[in-house]
Amino acid sequence: LLAFADTRELQLLHFSLFLGIYLAALLGNGLIITAIACDHHLHTPMYFFLLSLSLLDLGSISTTVPKSMANSLWDTRAISYSGCAAQVFLVFFFFGGEYSLLTVMAYDRYVAICRPLHYATIMDSRACVRMAAAAWASGFLTAVLHTGNTFSIPLCQGNTVDQFFCELPQILKLSCSDSYLREVGLLVVTVCLEFGCFIFIVLSYMQIFTVVLRIPSEQGRHKAFSMCLPHLAVVFLFISTAFFAYLKPPSLSSPAMDLVVAVLYAVVPPTLNPLIYSMRNKELKDALRKV
């Protein structure tokens, strides 16, 4: 794997920095999970999906950061072949599931604001469980397809992955001749599906903002915006960084740039999501204070 630094002092600095970020992510997501599980006032569809998002965030950051920390601490760059395959699988599983869940959460906000009288009927407990299960299942299916396809390709360009975790585009650079084109085709199909989800989220929020701006009372508008803006911020942060990582032109690709972009989409969102969701949410802040 790519090392963040060569000198011992910088390796220990990287370890300390990633340890702080990892502990912050564990604490933030752990508190949200505990608060939602323990406070019966938060047993609603919106918070059920937020709990599921926090579980996915914990899984995604635990897939990439601890291995990088361990390598810096023990002054090594090694990862086993099976460990690399596991990282690819888990990255696609958690990030694929998270993107699907963000799409479901956009639909939940749309129903809550645009069809409030039907909300309890449409978003009952059974429907919520099915939607969350479908999001996790889509992540699992994506992970199985990409991991199986990638590791069936013969790799003959060395064994150095130019990233701090086993990232798919970097592994494809190690493949022989044109054997990687099948996986590139699968990636294109996945990106098209993800783009469809993105269009769905955009259309949902266009409808939401149209309804919110018609609300006569300022307090009602403020409450509606406080429900939607955190989710919109999380969606923008996740989608913009992930799309740039996988779709940027080769001319912009360099080890330093790839490293920064990978940190932005793999490390920053799971750490900031709890902060973004709790900042403007009085119910969640009250529950966190109780915890």
CA–CA dist 96, 1 (Å, integer): 23
Q: Which has the minimum average pLDDT: 2-16, 45-59, 111-125, 165-179?
A: 165-179
Pairwise pLDDT comparison (46 vs 156), residue with the higher score = 46
Q: Which has the minimum average pLDDT: 22-26, 118-122, 183-187, 249-253?
A: 249-253
Question: Which amino acid, 129?
Answer: V
CA–CA dist 240, 119 (Å, integer): 30
- Condensed to tens digits (0 to 9), the pLDDT of residues 71-96 reads 999 988 899 999 999 999 999 999 99
Burial class, 192, CB count within 10 angstroms (exposed 0-12 / middle 13-18 / buried 19+): exposed
CA–CA dist 276, 29 (Å, integer): 11
Tokens of 268: 């920053």
pTM, full prediction: 0.89
pLDDT averaged over every residue in the chain: 87
- Condensed to tens digits (0 to 9), the pLDDT of residues 223-272 reads 777 777 777 877 887 788 777 777 777 667 777 788 888 888 889 889 98
Predicted local confidence at residue 261, as pLDDT: 83
CA–CA dist 267, 246 (Å, integer): 16
Tokens of 19: 């340890």
Name the CA dihedral angle for 157, 163, 166, 171, rounded to a multiple of 10 degrees: -30
Q: Is residue 246 within 8 Å of residue 258, measured between CB atoms?
A: no
Is 179 a residue whose pLDDT tops 70? no
Tokens of 4: 């963040």
- What number is the average pLDDT over the span 19-37? 94
Predicted local confidence at residue 85, as pLDDT: 93
Pairwise pLDDT comparison (214 vs 25), residue with the higher score = 25
